[in-house]
């Protein structure tokens, strides 16, 4: 009740502030459009500490819908996965957790003014985005781990069919402190600060319900806009384009088949959800950078500069394995050939990858601790990621990568409107009280 | 201890006006009694700290490693209980309670002293060798600490703020088991911090409950959760080593402590203090 009132009040103020903000940014925006970069360089003297001006901070993504945002949403430049232990010990608190989480996410994705409290109290918001929280293209995607379906809440009978605790693959060196969790939050936005702001908001608002277990941030390198032609995939820290063979996220029918759960063997509440795979994959970049180009390309199965298949062409051309049965063009153990052999079976179990590059510091050996925050979504975890990863066993790329963490999660179906909240269908199916406020 | 003198001194420190938008009904005068009572608690803890440190350092100097090891945790618990006040004297706090990682050269650093330096010798090397000068200095430091606090008029905002500070202390360093890394007696410190915080909340409880009974009830419930878990690890003469704490109990403690830290961070504001 208090929250509703605050929201109304906050929004009255926000609309005014935001109109002013939009007006100011509109002027700057058109200057950029007509004159491009030199206009900025030639403008009035600036202080080195002036904030970079970018009208994209006002971009926002819809929160409500049959599916959660952040899955087929185009990937912005900054991402983060945070995994939590759920501290609720009974069903009432579990429902309270997901209601509260829903409220916070709805606010953070839309933006607005946090309440102003008495200055003698700690402020309601960390303030790192200023007094008006801008949406900055933020999406927060909530997924639950297999451990949430243990005996704590009597949810065992309602577990999605394929959801399991991630088990070690042959090349993995999993660190317990970087694995699993009852709940994962994927934050994506235009800037790392926006993701951090959102994480701090959630940590501050749910201290009795969630305990942070691990987190990993990542980024995606921007490229100059390309006039005409197909957009190109971003590059990973091996310098190769990543995601070239991704199914088109804009094709709703395809996403319904490959990403969103609709299988009748799945519990009814799970329809419209998806399986999330997170893997923290360290790359041995010094060694990779000391590997001959032709060897790098043979290991991946693509041209490094263009991303095209080894037979040539452009990035999104399909490699012709039928005409290359012995691997004379694309080696049989090349990463892309093992991952996706382009059979009809593999075609039906393609996964939607949405990864970020991460860089954490320096290892004890003085090497760079960096790699790929692999994130993928699929309707069928067993035939999706797990089958692909099993095919990749023994690939030559293994010498250059080491998965150290991550987990399997189930991304809950979307929140359909203001009366709804994340996980409501699951809790209702399990007989919990979910109506009213 | 002259209670009346302390009451007067506290009065002088209180704000004249009460611009308490967060809590309009608490008057500065209401704070006098609990602040004075808290000073008595602190002096009590200091007395135990000085007496305990005397026995502890005597054992160290006599080379009685076994006895020194048993006295380590119960002695420093009294320091942990009053840490927000003890920390007002940064020089002594550094000398008494700094950890190896506060020093550039870690355990080998010449400036590494106090409880944890002795802990390192007693528990990592099972030896009191070379610890006599460290023990002498620790004894001198806690004696000096008591003297300084006796002469100190406790600032009310430091007293009330201390409840949250103690919880921040637990949340940041105790929950990980890194405080007493050689002896693994973290649960004793944990108990000291929690008792110190609870003492402050109890003293101000009538004022808090008057204005926000729901808040008071929530805080009490979280202290009860912490108590319940800690009691599970109580032994005849103290607490089990930190490694015995199960993951599940560690999470329960972390949740209650984080929530207490969050809630108690509003206590100063609620009582109209800066």
pLDDT-derived band of residue A36, with 50, 70 and 90 as boundaries? very low
Please state which of the ranges A156-160, B9-13, B107-111, B162-166 shows the lowest mean pLDDT.
Answer: B9-13
CB contact B21 to A (< 8 Å): yes
Residue B166: phi, psi to the nearest 5?
-65, -35
Tokens of A378: 């699929």
Contact B269 A118 (CB under 8 A): yes
Nearest to A85 among B20, B251, B266 (CB): B251
DSSP string, A180-229: --SEEEEEEESSHHHHHHHHHHHHHH-TTTEEEEEEEEEE-------SSS
Give residues 211 to 240 of B whose Cβ lies within 8 Å of A. 222
HSE-up (13 A, CA, CB side) for residue B92: 20
Contact A120 B255 (CB under 8 A): no
Tokens of B188: 């004793």
- Residues on chain B touching A89 (C-beta within 8 angstroms): 252
Contact A208 B20 (CB under 8 A): no
User: Which residues partner with A141 through β-bridges?
Assistant: A186
Residue A352: phi, psi to the nearest 5?
-100, 105
Per-residue pLDDT, A31: 37
Average pLDDT, integer, range A117-128: 95
pLDDT above 90: percentage of residues in chain A? 85
Average pLDDT, integer, range A307-318: 93
- Would you say B72 and B118 are in contact if contact means Cβ atoms under 8 Å apart? yes
**Could you report the per-residue pLDDT of A205-239, keeping only the tens digit for each?**
999 999 999 999 999 998 888 777 778 899 999 99
Count of all residues that appear for chain B in the document: 274
Average pLDDT, integer, range A234-254: 96
Average pLDDT, integer, range A18-36: 41
- Would you say A79 and A215 are in contact if contact means Cβ atoms under 8 Å apart? no
pLDDT-derived band of residue B21, with 50, 70 and 90 as boundaries? low
Instruction: Work out the end-to-end distance of chain A between its first and last CA atoms, rounded to an integer number of angstroms.
Output: 9
Distance CA B261, CA B265 (A): 6
Q: Average model confidence (pLDDT) for chain B? A: 91
**Continuous segment of H or E residues that includes residue B76:** helix B65-81
CB contact B252 to A (< 8 Å): yes
Work out the number of other CB atoms within 10 angstroms of the CB of residue B135: 22
Task: Give yes or no for residue A188 having a pLDDT over 80.
Answer: yes
Average pLDDT, integer, range A335-342: 96
Please state which of the ranges A220-224, A235-239, A339-343, A366-370 shows the lowest mean pLDDT.
Answer: A220-224
Q: Rounded to a whole number, what is the distance in Å from the CA of B2 to chain A's nearest CA?
A: 32
Per-residue pLDDT, A4: 37
**Could you report the per-residue pLDDT of A45-101, keeping only the tens digit for each?**
789 999 988 999 999 999 999 999 999 999 999 999 999 999 999 999 999 999 999
Nearest to B255 among A117, A204, A207 (CB): A207
CB contact A176 to B (< 8 Å): no
Nearest to B22 among A121, A204, A211 (CB): A121
User: Which residues partner with A313 through β-bridges?
Assistant: none
Q: Average model confidence (pLDDT) for chain A? A: 90
CB contact A118 to B (< 8 Å): yes
pLDDT-derived band of residue A10, with 50, 70 and 90 as boundaries? very low
- Residues on chain B touching A86 (C-beta within 8 angstroms): none
Nearest to B254 among A117, A122, A211 (CB): A211
Residue of A86, A88, A203, A208 to mutate when probing chain B, most B C-beta within 10 A: A208
Helices B186-211 and B213-232: crossing angle in degrees, nearest 10, is: 160
- Residues on chain B touching A84 (C-beta within 8 angstroms): none
The Cα-based distances of A150 to A146, A155, A157 in angstroms read: 7, 7, 10
ipTM of the assembly? 0.84
Per-residue pLDDT, A43: 59
Nearest to B45, CA basis, from B201, B265, B239, B193: B193
Give pairs for A12-17: CB < 8 Å, separation 24+. Answer: A13/A113, A14/A111, A14/A112, A14/A113, A14/A132, A17/A113, A17/A132
Per-residue pLDDT, A223: 86
HSE-up (13 A, CA, CB side) for residue B38: 34
Task: Give yes or no for residue A3 having a pLDDT over 50.
Answer: no
3-state secondary structure of A417: coil
Per-residue pLDDT, A103: 98
Q: Rounded to a whole number, what is the distance in Å from the CA of B50 to chain A's nearest CA?
A: 36
- Residues on chain B touching A209 (C-beta within 8 angstroms): 255
Residues B195, B200, B201, B204: what is their CA dihedral angle, to the nearest 10 degrees?
150
């Amino acid at each position: 009740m208090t929250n509703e009132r605050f929201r109304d009040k906050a929004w009255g103020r926000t609309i005014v502030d935001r109109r002013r903000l939009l007006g100011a940014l509109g002027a700057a925006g058109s200057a950029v459009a007509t004159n491009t970069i030199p206009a900025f360089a030639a403008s009035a003297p600036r202080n080195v500490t002036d904030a970079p001006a970018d009208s994209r901070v006002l971009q926002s993504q819809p929160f409500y819908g049959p599916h959660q945002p952040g899955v087929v949403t185009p990937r912005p430049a900054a991402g983060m996965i945070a995994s939590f232990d759920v501290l609720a010990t009974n069903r009432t608190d579990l429902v309270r957790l997901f209601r509260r989480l829903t409220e916070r996410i709805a606010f953070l994705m839309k933006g607005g003014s946090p309440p102003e409290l008495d200055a003698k109290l700690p402020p309601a918001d960390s303030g790192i985005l200023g007094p008006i929280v801008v949406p900055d293209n933020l999406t927060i995607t909530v997924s639950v781990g297999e451990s949430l379906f243990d005996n704590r809440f009597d949810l065992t009978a309602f577990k999605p069919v394929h959801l399991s605790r991630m088990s070690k693959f042959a090349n993995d060196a999993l660190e317990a402190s970087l694995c699993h969790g009852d709940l994962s939050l994927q934050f994506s936005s235009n800037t790392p600060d926006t993701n951090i702001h959102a994480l701090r908001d959630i940590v501050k608002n749910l201290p009795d319900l969630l305990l942070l277990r691990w987190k990993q941030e990542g980024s995606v390198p921007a490229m100059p806009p390309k006039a005409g032609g197909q957009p190109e995939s971003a590059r990973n820290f091996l310098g190769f384009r990543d995601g070239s063979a991704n199914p088109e996220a804009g094709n709703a029918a395809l996403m319904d088949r490959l990403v969103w759960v609709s299988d009748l063997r799945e519990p009814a509440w799970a329809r419209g959800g998806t399986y999330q795979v997170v893997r923290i994959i360290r790359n041995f970049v010094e060694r990779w950078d000391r590997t001959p180009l032709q060897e790098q390309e043979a290991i991946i199965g693509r041209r490094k500069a263009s991303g095209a298949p080894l037979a040539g062409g452009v990035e999104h051309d399909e490699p012709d394995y039928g005409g290359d049965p012995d691997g004379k063009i694309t080696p049989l153990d090349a990463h892309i050939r093992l991952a996706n052999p382009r059979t009809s079976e593999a075609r039906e179990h393609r996964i939607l990858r949405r990864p970020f590059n991460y860089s954490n510091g320096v290892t004890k050996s003085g090497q760079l601790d960096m790699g790929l925050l692999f994130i993928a979504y699929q309707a069928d975890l067993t035939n999706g990621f797990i089958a692909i990863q099993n095919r990749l066993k023994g690939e030559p790329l293994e010498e250059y990568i080491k998965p150290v963490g991550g987990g399997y999660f189930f991304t809950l179906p979307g929140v359909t409107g203001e009366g709804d909240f994340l996980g409501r269908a699951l809790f209702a199916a399990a007989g919990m009280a979910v109506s009213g406020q | 201890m002259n209670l009346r003198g302390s009451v007067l001194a506290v009065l002088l420190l209180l704000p004249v006006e009460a611009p308490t938008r967060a809590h309009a009904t608490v008057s500065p005068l209401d704070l006098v009694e609990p602040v004075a009572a808290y000073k008595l608690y602190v002096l009590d803890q200091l007395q135990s700290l000085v007496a305990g440190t005397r026995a502890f350092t005597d054992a160290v100097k006599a080379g009685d490693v076994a006895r020194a090891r048993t006295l380590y945790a119960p002695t420093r618990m009294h320091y942990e209980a009053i840490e927000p006040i003890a920390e007002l004297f940064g020089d002594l706090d550094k000398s008494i309670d700094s950890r190896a990682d506060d020093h550039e050269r870690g355990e080998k650093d010449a400036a590494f002293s106090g409880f944890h330096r002795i802990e390192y010798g007693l528990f990592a090397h099972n030896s009191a060798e070379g610890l006599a000068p460290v023990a002498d200095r620790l004894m001198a430091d806690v004696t000096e600490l008591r003297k300084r606090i006796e002469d100190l008029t406790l600032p009310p905002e430091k007293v009330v703020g201390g409840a949250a500070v103690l919880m921040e202390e637990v949340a940041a360093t105790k929950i990980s088991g890194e405080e007493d890394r050689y002896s693994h007696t973290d649960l004793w410190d944990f108990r000291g911090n929690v008792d110190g915080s609870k003492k402050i909340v109890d003293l101000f409880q009538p004022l808090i409950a008057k204005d926000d009974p729901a808040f008071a009830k929530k805080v009490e419930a979280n202290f009860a959760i912490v108590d319940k878990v800690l009691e599970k690890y109580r032994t005849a003469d103290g607490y089990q080593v930190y490694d015995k704490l199960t993951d599940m109990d560690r999470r329960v403690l972390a949740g209650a402590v984080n929530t207490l830290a969050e809630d108690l961070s509003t206590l100063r504001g609620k009582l109209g203090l800066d």
